[in-house]
Structure 1
Amino acid sequence: MRVLIWILLILALAIGVSLLVGNNEGYVLIVRPPYRLELSLNLLLILVVLAFASLHLLLRFIHYARDLPANVRAYKENRRIRLGHASLLEALHALSQGRYQIAQKSASKALDLGEDPSLTALIAARASHKLKQKGQRDYYLAEAERLAPDAEVARLLLQAELLLDDRLYSQALDVLQQIEKIEHRFIPALRLELKVQLRLNNWEQVLVLLQQLEKHDGMESWQAREIRLQAHQHLIERHGHNLNTLMNYWKRVPAEDKLNTRIAKLAADAFIRLNAGNQAQEVLEMSLTREWDSELAAKLGDCASTNPQKQLQQAEHWLLSHEQDAKLLLALGKMCMRLELWGKAQSYLEASISVQPCAEAHLTLARLLDNRGETDAANRHYRLSVQACEDNK
């Protein structure tokens, strides 16, 4: 509709001008002795319009010529930015798809075009690392340091990750220490250091890092729990050859970890192997008081306490709440045997077998009967013990 209106206006203007020119018989006389120039008014108007248009075009051309270098530079700069951005996007897509050759080439092109060096150089370095081109990787890391000194943390973080991948753990720790100086308690750096310490089996440092990460919500709780259990397991095994060393370590274990069923079981086993029945009993009782576990209760029977009567009373107190716990009944049988309460021990062992027969219960009862001279009954339970072992294979 607007186009139609403009067409009509232009036509009306053209008609009006033609009518005006057709009826105009005036003229213009220009005298400059010795010259005399006579022009029709219509021609003069046309010449004036043409002169104005020519002057306007000339001025525009001069302005364009004057600004041409700046316009060319701006055009080239905009083109460079577009190409650099496109190359960067191509590099990111290729890297995410595992097309490392293309990622390296595109990132290198983006870097040459001046696209954000703190990103393009690191993409090229990662792609080069995946291509096993360590020389190129180190070159791009150096370029990132030269061209983007303000992005030092990102560069160091990638460098530590790549060193970890190359199993250069000491060098990775050195790089992570540099990050610590720049940004204290940086969560991604702590996660990387945790991986390094796990590879180095530095379990004490692993526990320290886990505490820091959990404090700042740096990792999932279930993942931290599993790593902590793994650390305690290795540390208990490491210190489990000397009672004093093991006890000193156990004192440093946080109370929350001591109450964990799996950690308590590992510690109790270690104390039992070192004939430290009191310590093992204390570990088990603390964990069982918080949360009942039949596997832990079974360990009570292996704790040679210096106060077996008190130990038996505590176990019998638990039996009131766990009457059908076969492993607790087995542990009670073993305790009674140490106290030479043969009849009571036999009753507990038979009750354990009636609830849940197992090889250990049959074997323990067979030994008790054998000591009491009941050979036939003892042999029968020996056979049942062997049969139970074969059934569990």
Structure 2
Amino acid sequence: MKWVLWLLALFAVAVAVTLATRYNSGYVLVVAPPYRVELSLNLLAVLLVVLFVVAYFVVRLAIITLRLPTEVGEFRLRRRRDKAREMMLDGLKAFFEGRYAKAEKASAAALDPQEPPTVNAINALIAARSAHELRKYSQRDEFIAAAENNAPKEIVLRLMTQAELLLDERRSGEALKILQSLRAKSGRQHTAALRLELKAYQGSKNWDAVLDLLRQLEQRNAFDKTLIQRLRCNAHAENLKSRILNPRALKEYWQTISSVDKKDSKLAAAAAHACIATGDCVTAHQIIEQSLDGQWDSELAGLYAECLGTDVIRQIERAETWLKSNPNDASLLLALGKLCIHCELWGKAQNYLEASLSVEPSHPAHLVLAQLNEKIGRPELAKDHYGKGLKLALKRLERLG
């Protein structure tokens, strides 16, 4: 509709100009001695319009000519930025595809002083991660240094990447220092930084710090509850192992562990092992009995005979109550066999050991049964069980190897 209106307006102007020139009889006299020029008013108007148009285009041409170097520079800059952005996208795509050599090359090529500092930092750190995956650690460190030089304000981005790569290289101490400096600079750590800090403390075997971080991560719901429980029990187990040389500290630490964590059979087994190593059979038996009464664990039942108290008969009676609900547990049967041997209940011991072998043939059961046969004067049977036990041990070593 607009173009119709413009066309009508153009026709109207043309008609007006035609009528004006037809009825306009005026003229203009230009005198410049010795010359005298007489022009019609209509011709003068046309000449002035033509002169204005020519002058306009001359001025426009001069402006374009003067701005040409600037526009060429801007064009080149846009072209260079477009190429840098294209290389950046190629680097990111190659990195997430796992093509690290191409990602390193493209991200390094995308580094441009004219780009914003954050963009350069991202390119440098993608190149650093790619070099790390290629085990080119010196180039990785150079790219991290480039990120620091190009974008000194992007502290979190750089330090998080550096800490993660150092942890992957198993340099936990250096990674921990970086994360601690990040905490000092940025204040409250975000969840991802706390996760990296947790790995660093695990690598440094600082289990008290691990427990503290797990409490923070649990409050933020950063991990599954089952994983939190497993990691916490593992940290407690490591702390128990570190106190083996100090029985009192070991016992005190076990008392500080929550009743919920004590129900974990793996943690109870670690505590029992530690108590057995210190010779505290009473505490070891209490831990095993309380744990097995709450939740059955075959490995823990096998530990029951590893430390003999002053009342082994009571141990046998307690183990036989467990046997009623777990009649086919090879570890429990083996433990009962060992306890009966200590009390010189040869027949009962043999029955339990043979029952253990019938449920699950194992090297320890054959070894104990061989020793029993030696004691009761059956060297041939003892030799046979030694041989069978040795075969089972060799097969297990082959599987592990």
Paired residue type of 1:174? K
Q: Identity of paired residues, percent?
A: 32
- Which of residues 191, 201, 205 is equivalent to 1:201? 205
Q: Assess, with a 3 A threshold, how the Cα gap between structure 1 residues 123 and 227 changes in structure 2: closer, same or farther.
A: farther
Q: Kindly indicate whether residue 283 of structure 2 is the aligned counterpart of residue 279 of structure 1.
A: yes
CA contact (8 A) 1:160 1:173 kept: yes
CA contact (8 A) 2:367 2:389 kept: no
Q: Kindly indicate whether residue 268 of structure 2 is the aligned counterpart of residue 264 of structure 1.
A: yes
For 1:253 and 1:282, the matched residues in 2 are separated by 15
* Higher alpha-carbon deviation: 73-82 or 190-199: 73-82
For 2:170 and 2:389, the matched residues in 1 are separated by 47
Q: Kindly indicate whether residue 385 of structure 2 is the aligned counterpart of residue 384 of structure 1.
A: yes
For 2:169 and 2:338, the matched residues in 1 are separated by 53
TM alignment of 1:13-32, pairs within 5 A: 26-30=23-27
The DSSP-based 3-state class of the residue aligned with 2:289 is: helix
TM alignment of 1:1-393, pairs within 5 A: 26-30=23-27, 37=38, 39=40, 43=43, 46=46, 50=50, 57=56, 61=60, 65=63, 80=77, 83-84=80-81, 86-94=83-91, 96=95, 97-98=99-100, 99=102, 100-107=104-111, 109=112, 112-113=113-114, 115-124=115-124, 127=127, 130=131, 132-133=138-139, 134=141, 137-145=144-152, 149=153, 151-161=154-164, 164=167, 169-181=172-184, 182-219=186-223, 231=235, 234-365=238-369, 367-368=371-372, 371=375, 373=376, 375-376=377-378, 379-392=380-393, 393=395
Q: Shift in Å at residue 330 of structure 1? A: 2.5
Q: Shift in Å at residue 385 of structure 1? A: 4.2
Q: Shift in Å at residue 30 of structure 1? A: 3.2
For 1:219 and 1:173, the matched residues in 2 are separated by 21
For 2:39 and 2:335, the matched residues in 1 are separated by 135
The DSSP-based 3-state class of the residue aligned with 2:25 is: strand
Q: How many residues align?
A: 373
The DSSP-based 3-state class of the residue aligned with 1:320 is: helix
For 1:340 and 1:262, the matched residues in 2 are separated by 32
Q: TM-score, normalising length from structure 1? A: 0.72
Q: Shift in Å at residue 294 of structure 1? A: 2.0
Q: TM-score, normalising length from structure 2? A: 0.71
CA contact (8 A) 1:363 1:385 kept: yes
Q: Assess, with a 3 A threshold, how the Cα gap between structure 1 residues 284 and 124 changes in structure 2: closer, same or farther.
A: same
Q: Shift in Å at residue 184 of structure 1? A: 1.3
Paired residue type of 1:318? W
**1:177-216 alpha-carbon deviations (Å, 9 max, x no partner):** 2322323132222232233333333333334334433442
For 1:347 and 1:31, the matched residues in 2 are separated by 141
Paired residue type of 1:201? K
For 1:28 and 1:121, the matched residues in 2 are separated by 77
Q: Assess, with a 3 A threshold, how the Cα gap between structure 1 residues 17 and 118 changes in structure 2: closer, same or farther.
A: closer
The DSSP-based 3-state class of the residue aligned with 2:322 is: helix
Q: Shift in Å at residue 315 of structure 1? A: 2.2
Q: Assess, with a 3 A threshold, how the Cα gap between structure 1 residues 33 and 73 changes in structure 2: closer, same or farther.
A: closer
The DSSP-based 3-state class of the residue aligned with 1:239 is: coil
For 1:163 and 1:380, the matched residues in 2 are separated by 57
For 2:218 and 2:72, the matched residues in 1 are separated by 52
For 1:345 and 1:218, the matched residues in 2 are separated by 51
Paired residue type of 1:152? I
CA contact (8 A) 1:124 1:140 kept: yes
Q: Shift in Å at residue 167 of structure 1? A: 6.6
Q: Shift in Å at residue 335 of structure 1? A: 3.1
Q: Assess, with a 3 A threshold, how the Cα gap between structure 1 residues 355 and 36 changes in structure 2: closer, same or farther.
A: closer
Paired residue type of 2:332? L
Match of 2:399 in 1: none
For 1:344 and 1:168, the matched residues in 2 are separated by 55
For 1:246 and 1:389, the matched residues in 2 are separated by 36
For 1:90 and 1:310, the matched residues in 2 are separated by 76
CA contact (8 A) 1:294 1:325 kept: yes
Q: Assess, with a 3 A threshold, how the Cα gap between structure 1 residues 50 and 359 changes in structure 2: closer, same or farther.
A: closer
CA contact (8 A) 2:353 2:369 kept: yes
For 1:38 and 1:220, the matched residues in 2 are separated by 98
Q: Shift in Å at residue 329 of structure 1? A: 2.4
For 1:199 and 1:190, the matched residues in 2 are separated by 14
For 1:356 and 1:330, the matched residues in 2 are separated by 10
The DSSP-based 3-state class of the residue aligned with 2:325 is: coil
CA contact (8 A) 2:127 2:143 kept: no
